[in-house]
Structure 1
Amino acid sequence: MNTRPAGQDYIATLDLLRLAAALAVVLFHYFFRGAAAEGFLAECYPLAAPFALYGYLGVNLFFLISGFVIAWSAESRSWDQFAIARFVRLYPGFLFCMTITFAIVVLAGSPLLSASFSQYAANLSMFAPAFGQPFMDGVYWSIVLELVFYGWVTLALFTGLFQKRKLELIFVWLTISALNEFFLGSGAARLLFITEFGPFFAAGVLVHHIHAHGRSLPALLLLAAAFLISCGTLSVTRHWMQNHYGIAVSSANLVVANVVMHAALIGAVLLRHRVRPSALILALGGLTYPLYLLHQNIGYLAINAATPVVGKWFAAVGCVALMLFVSWAIWRSCERPAQRLLRIWLGRAVDIGLARFRRVSTEAQPAE
């Protein structure tokens, strides 16, 4: 769900890993969640559901990748450049996909789904629940956590702590995460410090630190701690799924899956020279963000509409293919041009604002 920083080599394997994470979430929604407790889909997929059940872990993999890429991006930018880059990366695609979802739900969602203009207006902020409205699509919750993570990285860059005290910051973050998830259980801390998923972000940052600066005992110990804490925090979602759906991935299998996810990120970095960058891989990486934002609610409506005509399997598989194509089209024809324009406009606006601030600060200083 992220871009690569300018001026550094493009790691094609990360885009492929990002696509795998997005597809895992899509399969989870189409072949398990859609027909589970909420009943979004009229037909269930008992043959695929035991495998699709693991797909929600694609979000955890996203957070791992995000930690790596955000650390990579932050090292080459000032705090204001980083903030602009992150906003430009997320908001245009979010706006396009959220608007498309709103339009389709209003036109064809009833009685399964509904949307209002007040909900749409609240979602423009990306923090709809803060305004008393639900997300336009349930997957947006993870975008909020990404934004909180970006906010902390921006603050760390602004204060200089990211450059000088990165490992110490991660130690404090992991300590807060462990204390809250295993002992305190504060919902406010879980949101403010992302304590449930913080170990995944932190592990990604640490993998980048080791990749960029070499192995050191503190970094390796912190990476091991992040992995162990993340094994524990995975139980939070496991208990929720058990209570909500009556089924969940076993604790042992979650540990195995966590090993696979961390190994996949490390492997993608180690094998970065084995996969040559290409326009196809760039497109596959680019479409993952629109795919993630678009697929759930629109997919449920499309599968329900197509199932009586072509059968449930053709409907679901065809919907996956359709979502891939539509997501690619949005990335290429809408998201990328909007990002270029917004990057230029915001860069100029911030430069003007900082110049005025410096001038006012200089004028306010007393004369010698």
Structure 2
Amino acid sequence: MTETVVNTTDVKSAPAARVPADTTASAPRGKRPEGRLRALDGLRLLAALMVAAYHYGGRDGDVSRAWGGSPSTQFPTLHEWFAYGPLGVQIFFVISGFVICMSGWGRPLRSFFASRVARLFPAYWAAIILVTAVFALPTVAYHAVSPSDALVNLTMLQQPAGADRVLGVCWTLWAELRFYALFALCVVLPGATRRRVVLFCAVWTMAAVLADASGEPFLNLVLMPEYAPFFIGGIGLYLVHRDRRDVLAWGVTAVGWALGQHYAVAGLWHKANPAFFSYREPLVIIAIVTAGFAAVAAIAAGMLRWADWRWLTVAGALTYPFYLVHEHLGWVTIEVLHRRLGLPSSVTFVGTAVLMLTLAWLLNRYVERWATPVLRKAVDRHL
């Protein structure tokens, strides 16, 4: 996520909208839904754990060095299921579409920008510094990026700048930033209304498909055809959250789901090949994408109001810092627990996840809780 990563963003309702009449008309009896959606917090953490399962046991590469061999030998059966973990990112993007539409509704552009900067950067900066420092240790076998590239990483613009990434998962943040920019310019700046949001979804959907067909790299970079359907589907589900009888909102969601599963299959499926680490069944990919949309739809429609436990809010708070640190620091932890301490694979897997969640709690407690409001106020004041 974000805000996954996925993305991995807050889910508090935005202030009441000061916009034209059709904005409030879309909500039942003129009222917009309020209250924290704790089930959404739980779903975000579940998506992050899916991604972590992939990074720990669903692929080869650097994690094989941590285990001392391919994860397929550590988890002969489970590694095939762990290989579906990347779909947690698509679920993140659906949640992000929902949350960003919620947080941008009724907010001026200044406030929206300040909230996004304050939400994303404190934990991100801490993760960049922490991973860079750990990878620079002589006892750690993994490659650290150059000081110049590490500094570029602090901007979150390392990918378009062509710098090496400190965090492997930061490519999803680059997708999130592009989504934020499109939504801010097209919806938040002129003022969010139901009509404007629906038009934004329709135009972005058509433009993204045309960009894909054209093969033009710049259009693909801006419009993100492989990820746009998930963000758009999430936006549609927020409209459903405002009014469950909104047929057009359900239609936006359905189109996002249909295109999203197509791009998910196109990106993750390949023909069976014994030389590959794993094989993903197309029907399983479709089922996971469908389950992600269905879970957010159930939350949007109010079917999971009963899942109102406070620990879910804690789970949501841990998701973003966990997503940032779990991959690279997880490799180091796996190597220490499994190869140096000799713990079994299953214990190492669970123990690594628990330690990364503990680190995420520390980042949330000692970085995000004080830095986020300070940064938000500072950015908002200077804008």
**SS of structure 2 residue aligned to 1:3:** coil
Per the TM alignment, residue 109 of structure 1 is displaced from its structure 2 partner at its CA by 6.8
Residue of structure 2 equivalent to 1:318: 351
Residue of structure 1 equivalent to 2:183: 153
- Are 1:3 and 2:3 an aligned pair? no
Per the TM alignment, residue 296 of structure 1 is displaced from its structure 2 partner at its CA by 0.5
Given that 1:206 and 1:219 are in contact with CA atoms closer than 8 Å, whether structure 2 keeps it comes out as yes
Per the TM alignment, residue 281 of structure 1 is displaced from its structure 2 partner at its CA by 2.1
Residue of structure 1 equivalent to 2:306: 274
Given that 1:64 and 1:204 are in contact with CA atoms closer than 8 Å, whether structure 2 keeps it comes out as yes
Residue of structure 2 equivalent to 1:357: none
Q: Which runs of 5+ in 2 are unaligned?
A: 1-7, 16-33
Matches within 5 A, 1:199-218: 199-218=229-248
d(CA) in 2 for partners of 1:242, 1:139: 27
Equivalent of 1:290 in 307, 321, 335: 321
Per the TM alignment, residue 115 of structure 1 is displaced from its structure 2 partner at its CA by 2.4
Residue of structure 1 equivalent to 2:144: 114
- TM-score, normalization: structure 2? 0.84
- Are 1:55 and 2:88 an aligned pair? no
Given that 2:321 and 2:360 are in contact with CA atoms closer than 8 Å, whether structure 1 keeps it comes out as yes
Given that 2:39 and 2:304 are in contact with CA atoms closer than 8 Å, whether structure 1 keeps it comes out as yes
**SS of structure 2 residue aligned to 1:329:** helix
- TM-score, normalization: structure 1? 0.88
- Are 1:187 and 2:196 an aligned pair? no
- Alignment root-mean-square deviation, CA: 2.2
Residue of structure 2 equivalent to 1:141: 171
Per the TM alignment, residue 245 of structure 1 is displaced from its structure 2 partner at its CA by 4.2
Equivalent of 2:48 in 8, 17, 22: 22
- The structure-2 alpha-carbon separation of the partners of 1:268 and 1:214, relative to structure 1 and needing over 3 Å to count, comes to closer
Percentage of pairs with the same residue = 26
Residue of structure 1 equivalent to 2:4: none
Q: Which amino acid aligns with 2:83?
A: L
For residues 221-244 of structure 1, the C-alpha deviation after alignment (integer angstroms, 9 at most, x for no partner) is 222211111121113321579899
- The structure-2 alpha-carbon separation of the partners of 1:94 and 1:281, relative to structure 1 and needing over 3 Å to count, comes to same
Residue of structure 2 equivalent to 1:345: 378
d(CA) in 2 for partners of 1:40, 1:200: 33
**SS of structure 2 residue aligned to 1:138:** coil
d(CA) in 2 for partners of 1:116, 1:37: 19
Count of residue pairs the alignment pairs up: 347
Per the TM alignment, residue 320 of structure 1 is displaced from its structure 2 partner at its CA by 0.6
Equivalent of 1:125 in 155, 159, 181: 155
Higher mean alpha-carbon deviation, 184-193 vs 68-77, is at 184-193
* Structure with the higher helix share, 1 or 2: 1
Residue of structure 1 equivalent to 2:203: 172
- Are 1:256 and 2:287 an aligned pair? yes
- The structure-2 alpha-carbon separation of the partners of 1:37 and 1:293, relative to structure 1 and needing over 3 Å to count, comes to closer
Residue of structure 2 equivalent to 1:361: none
Per the TM alignment, residue 80 of structure 1 is displaced from its structure 2 partner at its CA by 1.3
Residue of structure 2 equivalent to 1:327: 360
d(CA) in 1 for partners of 2:134, 2:320: 19
d(CA) in 1 for partners of 2:144, 2:129: 14
- The structure-2 alpha-carbon separation of the partners of 1:338 and 1:108, relative to structure 1 and needing over 3 Å to count, comes to farther
Q: Which runs of 5+ in 1 are unaligned?
A: 351-368
Higher mean alpha-carbon deviation, 225-234 vs 215-224, is at 215-224
For residues 6-37 of structure 1, the C-alpha deviation after alignment (integer angstroms, 9 at most, x for no partner) is 5541110000000100111001110112x358
Residue of structure 1 equivalent to 2:28: none
Q: Which amino acid aligns with 1:26?
A: A
Residue of structure 2 equivalent to 1:362: none
